Structure 1
């Protein structure tokens, strides 16, 4: 699929971007363009990949449409990862989140249509389902724009992939907890009952490739992901650290935070199909030619919603997941 193709990755210097590039290279693409605004991260990534000649690093911001149009010339596939992702930051600076997560996404769409790119993959978040914070709201708006783009006069296909938290990614709670354990001997948890979806970045990218291959445009692929209590995660990390007398401090829920995240809302479940063991597929409310016919043989889900309070991993399973991700 990617052999001898040119691929653009927005936000490509982040954790998802690193792993995406690592897994793309064996497919022998012609070129991978890493588009981001962080010069130092680009320099570090260039060294990490031993100055691989297939990688082209482009300084740019998705808020600038012309920069995206220039970067997208002759591109076959776009993986759109760039976003403002931290809930408190987006709550405190919603206009900046709007510019990046919504207007920036529309700029990606415009660049893709302009250059007649084959397919655009938009990486979304569980916080876009029934959003309670501005980050989730902005990503939900991004999903709507991406899905609507399939109604435009273009052969470009636009697809959403919605997933939960990736273990060990930049700003991940795992990295935060490990630093708190090491330096403070104290872990801050907002609520003892809080649960989250988690997956290793390596597995998440494999699922991204699967959706890229299987999608036809206009659908939202929802990753099926394991869940855990944040308290259990913290306790596993404390035990693995071999540091004694680490306290757990209850901080209280931050603005916009939920106790349980949701990958599939009650409203969305009425339009959701069971794709396979890895994915649900949400069909859009708007009409996209050929989409409903393509999925007509798939069965509807029999759940009211899909949230992180069910199917919780025990501590041993959490430990196995962390070990697989080389995080302990």
Structure 2
């Protein structure tokens, strides 16, 4: 699918972007353009990939459409990962989140259409489902813009992929917990009942490629992800560190934070099909020619919602997941 293709990755120096680029290189693309505003991360990533001749690094911000138009020239695929992602940051600076996550996404759409890109893949989050914070709201708006772009007079197709938390990404709870355990012998937990969807970035990217290849355009692919209690995750990390006397401090829920996350809301479930063992697909409420016909063979998901509080992993399963990701 990606052989001899030119690919642009916005937010390409982040955790998702780093793994995405690594796996893309195995497909022998013509060129991968790594677009981000972080000069230091670009320098580090360039060294990690041994100045790979197929990687081209671009300093830019998706809030500036001119640089996106230049970067999208002759591009076949755009993976749109760039975003302000931290809930407290977006709560404190909602206007900046709006500029990046909403207006920036519209800039990506317009640049892709102008440059006749084949397909744009927008990486979304479980926080976009029935959002309770500005980050989730801004990503939900990004989803709406991406879906709507398929109604425009263009051959460029746009698809959303929604997932939960990826282990070990920047600011991940795993890094926070490991540091607290080793340095303070104490772990801060927002709420003892809190649950989250988790899986490895390697698995996430493999599923992204699948949706990229099989999507029509206009749908939201929702990853079926394992879920765990955050306190159980902390206990497994304590055991792995050989610590038995670690204190648990309950911090309280932060502004905009949920106890349980949704990958699929009750409203969305009404138009969701069970695609396969790895994905649900949400069909849009707006009309996109041929889309509902394409998915007419698939059965309804028959879900009230897809909530992280159900089917949580055991500690052994969490340990296995962390070992697979190389975190313990």
Q: TM-score normalized by structure 2?
A: 0.99
Residue 311 of structure 2 is aligned to residue 315 of structure 1: no
Counterpart CA distance in 2 for 1:99 and 1:181 is 37
Residue 217 of structure 2 is aligned to residue 214 of structure 1: no
Name 2:248's counterpart in structure 1: 248
Name 1:188's counterpart in structure 2: 188
Counterpart CA distance in 2 for 1:25 and 1:113 is 25
Name 2:179's counterpart in structure 1: 179
Name 2:141's counterpart in structure 1: 141
Q: Secondary structure at the match of 2:256?
A: coil
Moved over 4 A (4+): none
Name 2:289's counterpart in structure 1: 289
Counterpart CA distance in 2 for 1:285 and 1:60 is 34
Quote the offset at 1:303 in angstroms.
1.3
Unaligned runs of 5+ in 2: none
Counterpart CA distance in 2 for 1:286 and 1:91 is 30
Counterpart CA distance in 2 for 1:243 and 1:237 is 9
Matches within 5 A, 1:11-160: 11-160=11-160
Q: Secondary structure at the match of 1:27?
A: coil
Q: Per-residue displacement from partner, 1:200-247 (whole Å, max 9, x unpaired)?
A: 000000000000000010000000000000000000001101134211
Counterpart CA distance in 2 for 1:176 and 1:151 is 43
Counterpart CA distance in 1 for 2:214 and 2:284 is 17
Counterpart CA distance in 1 for 2:76 and 2:28 is 14
Name 1:259's counterpart in structure 2: 259
CA RMSD of aligned residues (A): 0.5
